[in-house]
Structures are given as structure tokens and as C-alpha cells.
Amino acid sequence: MASSSAPKLYTIFLCICLVLLLCSTMEVEAKICQRRSKTWSGPCFNTGGCKNQCMRVEHGTFGACHRQGFGFACFCYFKC
């Protein structure tokens, strides 16, 4: 009797493992919004400084220098 229920248990076990694997690999996509820094002054040539300012002062997730018009500006990124 034990041998006839063993394949059923293995099948159930494999199904549970598959479901757990699929759930653990699902990614939740968070929307990120970008806006020009409100506290950065002047052209932005130092992405590290822009990132620090966005994170410390404006409480963003990160920041970077990007081309805008004829120069570069600091842009901060936030969770929407």
C-alpha cells in the first residue's frame, strides 16, 4: 500500500515546489518617477554628488546627471 501512495506524494511535492519557485521568482515592478532636482544648483557633472544630494536632501531613491538642453542637470528618482 505504501508504494501506491508514494507516486501521488511525489507528484504533490513537485507541484508544491513548482508553485513556490514560481512565486519566489515573480517580480513586482515599482514605478519610478523622475524630476529635476529642486536643491541642486548649477550644471551637473558629478553624478555621485547628484545621487547623494537626491537621496539625503530630497529623499529620493537615487539621482543622476542627465543632458537637458545645452547642459547637464541633476535629476532625482522617486517611487511613484
pLDDT, tens digit (0-9, with 9 covering 90-100), for 45-61:
999 999 999 999 999 99
Domain map (residue ranges) of the chain: 32-79
What's the confidence (pLDDT) of residue 28?
62
Query: Shortest CA distance to 51 belongs to which of 39, 41, 65?
Result: 65
pTM of the model: 0.62
- Own/partner pairs for 48-56, CB < 8 Å, 24+ apart? 50/74, 50/75, 50/76
CA distances from 50 to 6, 7, 56 (A): 61, 59, 10
What DSSP state is assigned to residue 28? -
Specify the CATH architecture of the domain 32-79: 2-Layer Sandwich (3.30)
